[in-house]
Structure 1
């Protein structure tokens, strides 16, 4: 069935905090719909993602890049959880987990170089 091809659809894979994370995303959705912006205090605390590139993962569109100030991973290469929204001006992106401030985008060669230097922590699974 579907879960053989797409294991992420299996309800057994639901993390303990998924419901809470989705409620937070829903609250942010309403805030963005009404205000059309992200509060400066939220972005000030958000990790900065540099040399990022979009990647299509089974879970959805993600970004791979070098994060600084990440609340779980610190300063290292990360792959974000799936993206929900992005600023049309390229200043921020909202993943299932945190908002990210976006630095300069990278390219495929940047990502390969970061993988080769083994600074990649793999897909994030954080608060």
Structure 2
């Protein structure tokens, strides 16, 4: 959602409109590449690793899990919630949120299974 303030237009997260446009353009470029046959795992080759992940639904689908190598949320295995989930491809081991690609580590059930 975009809000008008005295300082200009802002998204609900406080991000400026140019920042949102940049994110959407990068998402659009990735979607076009997938449409044209690009390998999702190649697009996600340098992406943040999301371990212990599971699909999570709010009014929009997102992923939650322990992130390692995130560009703005430092730490190893830091619990995060992704932005809106746009592409989910377990077969290729990656997912594309509004903001970026994620390489999928083990899903949550793999970590909680007891032998």
TM-score interval, normalised by the smaller of the two chains: 0.7 to 0.9
RMSD of aligned alpha carbons: 2.0
Change (3 A) 1:88 1:65: closer
Q: Which residue of 1 aligns with 2:72?
A: 72
Higher helix share: 1
Instruction: State the TM-score, normalized to the length of structure 2.
Output: 0.75
Deviation of 1:36 (Å): 3.9
What is the 5 A alignment of 1:36-115?
A: 36-38=38-40, 40=42, 42-58=43-59, 60-75=60-75, 76-89=78-91, 91-107=93-109
Which 5+ residue runs of structure 2 have no aligned equivalent?
4-9
Tell me the matched-pair count. 98
Residue equivalent to 2:22: 20
The gaps in structure 1 that reach 5 residues or longer are 1-8, 111-127
Q: TM-score, normalised by structure 1?
A: 0.69
Per-residue CA distance 1:71-124 (angstroms, 9 max, x = gap): 1112211000011001150500000111000011104xx7xxxxxxxxxxxxxx
